[in-house]
């Protein structure tokens, strides 16, 4: 049973436009959410995170929104660049003492076209 | 190097053989994790070390899988009697292992294991 779901296997956007990647979760004990980016033949690279006490976190071109009541989060990339083309994984964990185990979604392949 | 390193990058073995996969975490990181990523899936948790001890090995699929971290730094994931279903990318990650609070994990490039 998938506790973290990324329902879009792929997304294609034009350079300069906004990319929106979505993630849903089912476990109400999740308290901390992360986005990782993965290029082929490399390990996942941490991108941005958000704790459940917030509804938004911004870092440069990347913003993560959390809707805890809907158990939904999204990653916005503005403006999108060709170098952003990668697989994006949403991950979740508990907070405090249970913060070590990350549960990942299946990933969304983002392609940014020049 | 400053990041997590894993060796070998690729390992091809025959069904029934024994393999060892090595992970060198970021210096100073007390927490170390192993994940397994099968084709088309996200990484799945296998085991977590805090220092030398395995704090949670609930993700290991069966007793053919074992991991050690004898000196609290380098870790080895050991797989006995490999099966074709063990073929996957095995990812290692490390973190500061802070008690409470956020705990971003930094991943290595992975070892791609192929069991023929």
CB contact under 8 A, A101 and B93: no
Cα gap B116→B100, rounded to integer Å: 43
- pLDDT value for A100: 82
Residue of A nearest to B100 (CA): A96
Please choose, from the candidates B76, B113, B95, B99, the residue with its C-alpha nearest in 3D space to the C-alpha of residue B31.
B95
Which of B71-75, B79-83, B97-101 has the least mean pLDDT? B97-101
Give the pLDDT band of residue B66 (cuts 50, 70, 90). very high
B 50-79 → A contacts, CB under 8 A:
50, 55-56, 59
Q: What is the pLDDT of residue A99?
A: 72
**pLDDT over threshold 60, residue B101:** no
Q: Which tokens hold the place of B79?
A: 């797989």
Tell me how many residue pairs between chain A and chain B have CB atoms under 8 A apart. 66
% of chain A with per-residue pLDDT over 70: 96
Write down the pLDDT at residue B32.
95
Q: Which residue of A has its CA nearest to B101?
A: A96
Q: Which residues contact B42 (CB under 8 A, 6 or more apart)?
A: A4, A89, A91, A104, A105, A106, A107
- Average pLDDT, integer, range B5-19: 97
Tell me, what's the pLDDT at A98?
A: 64
CA-CA distance, A26 to B63, in Å (whole number)? 30
The tokens for B95 are 């973190």
**In terms of Cα–Cα distance, which of A90, A92, A88, A89 is closest to A28?**
A92
Q: Report chain A residues whose CB lies below 8 A from the CB of B33.
A: 100, 102
Q: Is the dihedral of CA A100, A106, A112, B4 positive or negative?
A: positive
Residue-wise DSSP of A27-48: -TT--EEEEEEE-TTS--EEEE
Q: What is the model's pLDDT at position B100? A: 56
Give contacts of A2 with chain B, Cβ < 8 Å.
Answer: none
pLDDT in tens, A59-107: 999 999 999 999 999 999 999 999 999 999 999 988 766 678 899 999 9
Give the whole-angstrom CA distance, residue B114 versus residue B87: 5
> What pLDDT score was predicted for residue B55?
86
Interface test with B, best of A42, A95, A100 (most B CBs within 10 A): A100
Q: What is the pLDDT of residues A2-49, one digit of tens each?
A: 899 999 999 999 999 999 999 999 999 898 999 999 999 899 999 999
Judge whether A9 and A108 are in contact, CB under 8 Å.
yes
Band (A1; pLDDT cuts 50, 70, 90): confident
């Amino acid at each position: 049973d998938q506790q973290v779901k990324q329902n879009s296997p792929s997304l294609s956007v034009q350079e300069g436009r906004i990319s929106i990647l979505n993630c849903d979760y089912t476990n109400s004990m999740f308290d901390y959410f992360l986005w990782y980016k993965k290029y082929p033949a490399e390990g996942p690279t941490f991108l941005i995170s958000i704790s459940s006490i917030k509804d938004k976190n911004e870092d440069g071109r990347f913003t993560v929104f959390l809707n805890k009541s809907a158990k939904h989060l999204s990653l916005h990339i503005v403006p999108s660049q060709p170098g952003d083309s990668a697989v994006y994984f949403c991950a979740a964990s508990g907070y405090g003492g249970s913060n070590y185990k990350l549960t990942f979604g299946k990933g969304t392949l983002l392609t940014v076209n020049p | 190097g400053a990041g997590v390193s894993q060796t070998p990058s690729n390992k091809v073995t025959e069904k029934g053989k024994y393999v060892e996969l090595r992970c060198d975490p970021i210096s100073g990181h007390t927490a170390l994790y192993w994940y397994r990523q099968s084709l088309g899936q996200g990484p799945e948790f296998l085991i977590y070390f805090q220092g030398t001890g395995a704090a949670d090995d609930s993700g290991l699929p069966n007793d053919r899988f074992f991991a050690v971290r004898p000196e609290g730094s380098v870790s080895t994931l050991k797989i006995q009697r490999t099966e074709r279903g063990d073929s996957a990318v095995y990812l290692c990650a490390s973190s500061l292992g802070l008690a409470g609070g956020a705990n971003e994990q930094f991943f290595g490039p992975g070892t791609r294991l192929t069991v023929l």
